[in-house]
Amino acid sequence: MKIELQHEPVEKLSLPALAVYSFEEDPSSSGTARRLPSKVQKLLEDLKACGELTGKAYECTLVHQPVGMAVQKLLVVGAGKKEKFKPFHLGRLAGAAVRFLRARAVHEMAWIVGEKDGTKGIQTVTEGAVLADYDADRYRTEQRADRRVDLFALVCDKTPGSEAWAAAIAQGQAIAEATNFTRDLVNEPANQMTPTLLARHAREMAERTGLGYQELGTEEIRALKMGALWAVAQGSDEPPRLMVLRYTPEEAPEAPVIGLVGKGITFDSGGISIKPSQDMHEMKTDMAGGATMLGVMQAIAQLKPRVRVIAVVPSTENMVSGKAYRPGDVITSMSGKTIEVLNTDAEGRLALADGLAYAKQLGCTVLIDAATLTGAVMVALGNITTGVFGSDQEWVNRVISSGIETGERMWQLPVDDDYRELYKSSIADLANTGGRYGGAITAAMFVGDFAGDTPWVHMDIAGTRWSNEEKPYLAKGPTGVPVRTLVHLLMDFAK
């Protein structure tokens, strides 16, 4: 999608379509509908009178050949009630316009920049437009390539040449494209996304963007005594990989070094504690945390914030075989802590345990992990909100406020020593499960135990990695959550 600024008066725009938005209180002339010629606003008044235009959230009303304008189609998107409107909604409105028009074979469209939008607004709109112009349909032989928006023109009356605005567009585009890269990785079926193939994607991305790249295979993983990651990997015929990507800008201070650790289970059958077959196919997405960190690295390689970042993605399948680890096995993690395996389906925390220990060894001074860790977080928060946990409230707050900015919902759940009883083992340092109640918390705390004293934040994205329904502004399928939250966080932090 090409995104450009245009400075023509609204009446003279000669693109196939223009999209504006308006609120419920005044659907014919609020929002950017305010900028339409009065004759067109009169027409919208009539549509309102007969109930075709209400301003309800994401309502799309299409007007053909609007009088006194050069565009062929005018789309009015409802923005809902004004008092409920938040900055991130602007991106969703632009997204809804993109998805509505592309479904009607419109390839070039304009969007009016509001008077108060500024660079933040422009970036939000850009992100929303690029995220909306995505479908997870790579494997359909009948391609829908005709259903894409090629040109998205941002129309503003300010004078041309504003560098800050061009930068806002470039930034929004880089972030949304990185999010779409993550979505592509998450969407791949497990036969096309083994640990080896995931690592190949990571390496290619690193080479393309100039990031440092290293990868550990079976031998290195065993030599480094990553007994927890290896326990999961040993049951699979596919060899494990641990990817390390480094972003080291010269002008950045020595500290902090932010470690981004992502769970990269390319398929989670549950192992010997096998999952029911019902939704097992969804477990191809169990590498969403790892894919998130790869997307974040791609974005920051382009945006160049002044902060050092290292991504660590431990990746393996969790399979059933004669070589698979068993319930009851005791394993020794890289940190030296011993773990009694009570359930082989609690594999994510094992992979993360060694991932975090390795990130610390590489010199990370802050740890942020993302993982499709528990079904329990979906029981608590559904697939709307990511569960956030952490040992350092300042960093937790950074994640949460970044989530509020991007519209990726986050909610903090507690960590507390009183829960520690639940995952005690009678024969080892820890057990890998803590029972059904509070399952998201005990899983998070298990992971946190391997962060030790290093400030740590954990995001459980089991619910939010995927959307089962199509939204007006987003395709069904992989969401790319929480790529945008983390990139915004790193950009703001580096300022």
Which residues of this chain interact with Mn ion, rule CB under 5 A? Answer: 268, 345, 347
For ligand BES, which is the closer residue by CB, 272 or 301?
Answer: 272
- Applying CB under 5 A, the span of 212-220, 228-236, 348-356, 392-400 interacting with Zn ion comes to 348-356
What minimum distance in Å lies between the beta carbon of 305 and Mn ion? 34
What minimum distance in Å lies between the beta carbon of 325 and Mn ion? 12
What minimum distance in Å lies between the beta carbon of 177 and ligand BES? 25
Q: Which residues are catalytic?
A: 275, 349
What minimum distance in Å lies between the beta carbon of 347 and Mn ion? 5
Hey, is 29 helix, strand or coil? coil
Main-chain dihedrals φ then ψ at residue 227, nearest 5 degrees = -65, -25
- Count of residues that bind Zn ion according to CB under 5 A: 4
User: Which residue in the shown chain puts its C-beta closest to Zn ion?
Assistant: 268
* Nearest of 135, 333, 344, 124 to residue 232 by alpha carbon: 344
For ligand BES, which is the closer residue by CB, 334 or 346?
Answer: 346
Within residues 184-223, the interface with Zn ion by CB under 5 A covers none
User: How far is the C-alpha of 407 from the C-alpha of 399, rounded, in Å?
Assistant: 12
Q: What residues make contact with ligand BES under the rule CB under 6 A?
A: 268, 282, 286, 343, 345-348, 372-376, 433, 439, 462
Taking CB under 5 A as the criterion, the residue among 348, 387, 438, 478 binding Zn ion is 348
For ligand BES, which is the closer residue by CB, 210 or 435?
Answer: 435
For ligand BES, which is the closer residue by CB, 178 or 444?
Answer: 444
User: How far is the C-alpha of 121 from the C-alpha of 115, rounded, in Å?
Assistant: 10
Print burial letters for 342-367: b (CB count within 10 Å at least 16), e (below 16).
Answer: bebbbbbbbbbbbbbbbbbeeebebb
In the beta sheet, which residues pair with residue 241?
315
Count the neighbouring beta carbons within 10 Å of the beta carbon of residue 297. Answer: 30
Q: Quick one: tokens of 36?
A: 């339409």
Place of tokens 């494997």: 139
- Under the criterion CB under 5 A, does residue 238 sit at the interface with Zn ion? no
For ligand BES, which is the closer residue by CB, 18 or 352?
Answer: 352
Partner interacting with residue 135 (select from Zn ion, Mn ion, ligand BES, none; CB below 5-8 Å by kind): none
Partner interacting with residue 335 (select from Mn ion, ligand BES, Zn ion, none; CB below 5-8 Å by kind): none
Q: Residue 41 CA to chain centroid, in angstroms?
A: 38
Angle between helices 163-187 and 118-132 (to 10 degrees): 30
Main-chain dihedrals φ then ψ at residue 258, nearest 5 degrees = -90, 125
Question: Do residues 275 and 289 make contact, with C-beta atoms less than 8 angstroms apart?
Answer: no
For Zn ion, which is the closer residue by CB, 24 or 268?
Answer: 268
* Nearest of 215, 315, 320, 324 to residue 266 by alpha carbon: 315
What minimum distance in Å lies between the beta carbon of 195 and ligand BES? 15
Within residues 265-324, the interface with Zn ion by CB under 5 A covers 265, 268, 286
User: How far is the C-alpha of 249 from the C-alpha of 460, rounded, in Å?
Assistant: 29
For ligand BES, which is the closer residue by CB, 282 or 392?
Answer: 282
What minimum distance in Å lies between the beta carbon of 345 and Mn ion? 4
User: Which residue in the shown chain puts its C-beta closest to Mn ion?
Assistant: 345
Binding flags for Zn ion, 248-267, as an x/- string (CB under 5 A)? -----------------x--
What minimum distance in Å lies between the beta carbon of 483 and Mn ion? 23
What number of CA atoms fall less than 13 Å from residue 391's CA on the CB side? 18
Q: Quick one: tokens of 217?
A: 């295979």
- From residue 124, alpha-carbon distances to 36, 127, 363 in Å are 22, 5, 34
- Interface positions with Zn ion (CB under 5 A): 265, 268, 286, 348
